[in-house]
Amino acid sequence: MAKAKSRQVKVSRQTAETKISATLNLDGSGRVRVRTPFGFMDHMLTAWAKHALLDLTLAAAGDVNVDAHHTVEDMGLVLGEALAKATGEKKGLRRFGAALIPMDEALAECSLDLSGRPLLVYAADIPGRKQWDFDCNLVREFFQALANAGRLTLHLRLCAGDNYHHSCEALFKAAGRALRQAVELDPRVKGVPSSKGTL
């Protein structure tokens, strides 16, 4: 039997604003080590990777004296690039994933397609946005960067939620669960899962 191709990659990005490096293994077990300037994003990325069953290490530093925007966006770019590299030509993948995830009173839905066509549809009115140190507008920026660099069609919707933390965490968990489905290898799929023959 032929040995399965490794789906583990390393990606780094360094600019005048940020320095980020990541290692991603699609065939992991949810082992995560994330170090960023933002404890909240560490928690969200850990939840995302755990529920996607990714092995992930990520270290990020940035111009937080300005604000969190550049660092959070660039984390999305790095992780999106890692996903694109790890899935390669997408042969044998399930391609699509969807999840509806409750987090106490919050409920989030994610549908995604490893389509090769970057698109984010984001409908999440997160409550209490001005009561927290972390700017919840950056949740959208992270997922926009992830979709762009990962060339994903990504739909995220917050269906219910009264608590800021629960609402954000439900979105990340839903995105993780949907990704887990999409990147799984399906033994019944021969080649690229597209009628066009390419993605």
pLDDT score at 129: 62
Q: 24 in a domain, yes or no?
A: yes
Q: 122 in a domain, yes or no?
A: yes
pLDDT score at 127: 81
pLDDT score at 199: 79
Q: 195 in a domain, yes or no?
A: no
Pairwise CA distance, residues 50 & 30, whole Å: 4
- Given a cut of 50, the residues of the chain with pLDDT beneath it are 1-3
Q: 188 in a domain, yes or no?
A: no
Q: 197 in a domain, yes or no?
A: no
| Residue 56: C-alpha distances to residues 12, 92, 178, 194, 199 (Å) | 13, 22, 17, 28, 25
pLDDT score at 193: 84
90 φ/ψ sector (left φ>0, alpha ψ -120 to 50, else beta): left
Q: 198 in a domain, yes or no?
A: no
pLDDT score at 198: 80
Range of the domain at 156: 8-183
CATH assignment at residue 43: 3.30.230.40
Q: Tell me the whole-structure pTM to 2 decimals.
A: 0.94
Element (H, E) at 18: strand 18-25
The count of structural domains within the chain is 1
Q: 191 in a domain, yes or no?
A: no
